[in-house]
């Protein structure tokens, strides 16, 4: 009986040369440390978006008005990234109203909502809730229903503002959420109409003029029904989005005292109460 050798057969010089050439080609194709592809910034964690998150990055910051002008009322807007808020300090500084983030998409609720929403109310403020819109994750109607059911409802108690729709740059991807101008207008209409059917109130729409122009085609569709909250970190509100002849709320800075995001209501305190009462 013959015994098979356990040694590996010798390869021909031609085969060895071909293997070495293939390995060298693969090595040259791989990026070196110096030639590695540029790294892109990671998107923030879902749920961490807040009112005005993209304003500085897209519109910049100019010297702003530190105090409300005659006939205006100071307010703030807060979200989970502020955690527990010192409402007593804000009240004593002249802040009389607040908007609190309640929800985002149909999957996130602000973990600090109770402290912020109830705390502002208990100190004496007029307050309302807002929803950060993500039109690429679900329909406007679905998000309006989720918002209204998780803190965004309204009652005529003289202390509760109508819900606010925060529609602005997408912090997680494409600025306009992959929608056409017409698609974005349709999504917003779906949200505000559903919200009105659930609460009896038109939502306040928060946006920035440049985003509105880029992502809705500067639509005039909502100016006659939905109050405007405009974002601009400067000494004036500048040009408003189409359809609105005036603004209701102006978020004028993200670097204010106690809470960074400060706002002027375009009216005296009795007008804030009037908006609360519908």
Catalytic residues: 77, 166, 168
Compute the chain's Rg from CA coordinates.
27
Q: Which residue's entry shows tokens 């293997």?
A: 19
End-to-end CA distance of the chain: 103
Q: Which residue's entry shows tokens 């005659």?
A: 70
User: Is the distance from CB of 270 to CB of 248 less than 8 angstroms?
Assistant: no
- Short-list 65, 83, 82, 62, CA closest to 74: 65
According to DSSP, the residues that pair with 139 across neighbouring strands are none
Residue spans of beta strands (DSSP E) within 114-269: 126-132, 164-166, 204-207, 228-231, 249-253, 262-265
Q: Provide DSSP, 39-108.
A: PPPPPPPTT---TTTTHHHHH-------SPPTT-EEEEEE-GGG-S--HHHHHHTT--EEEEEEEETTTE
């Amino acid at each position: 009986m013959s015994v098979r050798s356990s040694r590996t057969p010798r390869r021909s010089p031609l085969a060895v040369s071909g293997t070495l050439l293939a390995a060298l080609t693969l090595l040259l194709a791989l990026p070196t440390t110096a030639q590695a592809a540029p790294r892109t910034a990671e998107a923030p964690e879902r749920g961490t978006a807040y009112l005005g998150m993209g304003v500085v990055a897209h519109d910049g910051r100019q010297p702003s008005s530190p105090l409300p002008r005659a006939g205006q009322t100071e307010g703030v807007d807060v979200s989970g990234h502020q955690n527990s808020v010192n409402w007593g300090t804000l009240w004593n500084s002249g802040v009389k109203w607040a908007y609190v983030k309640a929800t985002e998409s149909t999957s996130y609720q602000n973990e600090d909502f109770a402290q912020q929403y109830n705390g502002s109310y208990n100190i004496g403020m007029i307050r309302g809730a807002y929803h950060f819109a993500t039109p690429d994750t679900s329909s406007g109607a679905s998000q309006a229903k989720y918002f209204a059911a998780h803190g965004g409802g309204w009652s005529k108690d003289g202390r509760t503002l109508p819900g606010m729709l925060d529609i602005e740059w997408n912090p997680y991807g494409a600025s306009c959420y992959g929608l056409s101008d017409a698609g974005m207008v349709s999504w917003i209409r779906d949200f505000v109409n559903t919200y009105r059917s659930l609460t009896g109130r038109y939502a306040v729409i928060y946006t920035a003029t440049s985003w509105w122009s880029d992502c809705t085609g500067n639509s005039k569709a909502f100016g006659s029904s939905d109050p405007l909250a405009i974002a601009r970190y400067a000494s004036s509100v500048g040009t408003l989005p189409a359809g609105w002849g005036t603004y209701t709320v102006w978020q004028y800075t993200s670097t204010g005292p106690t809470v960074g995001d400060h706002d002027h209501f375009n009216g005296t305190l009795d007008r804030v109460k009037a908006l609360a009462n519908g």
